[in-house]
Amino acid sequence: MGHPKPKLPGSVSWAWSWQELAACARFDPRLFFHPTGERGEGSRARELAAKQVCATCPVLEPCRAYALAVREPYGVWGGLTEEERAHLLRRRRAARAA
């Protein structure tokens, strides 16, 4: 259960041991990844429920850092949706360019 173990890029020597403490390991992964065609209120409710699990997770920070570092394209990771991660990454790029 929980998130699938990621395929780490060779250049990223990321310690994956934090996943052993993941709060989401006790939940159905479908809570964290939107099914095809999910929209609107159903999507928001599922994401909110996933975020509530993340809020209790002792490894939220390394999970979020991992998802941002490898540009995880889908799902809630580290309490952030894919849209929120994309927004954060755009802000970081803009701040670096300024």
Residues near ligand SF4 (CB under 6 A): 2-3, 22-24, 53-54, 57, 59-60, 63, 76-79
With CA atoms as reference, report the closest residue to 84 among 76, 94, 92.
76
CB 18, CB 62: distance < 8 Å: yes
- Looking at residue 20, the DSSP 8-state letter turns out to be G
Question: Cβ 42 to ligand SF4, closest distance in Å?
Answer: 19
**53 vs 85, beta carbon nearer ligand SF4:** 53
Distance, CA of 20 to CA of 65 (rounded, Å): 16
Cβ-based nearer residue to ligand SF4, 52 or 93: 52
- Identity of the residue, 2 or 6, whose beta carbon is nearer to ligand SF4 in the bound complex: 2
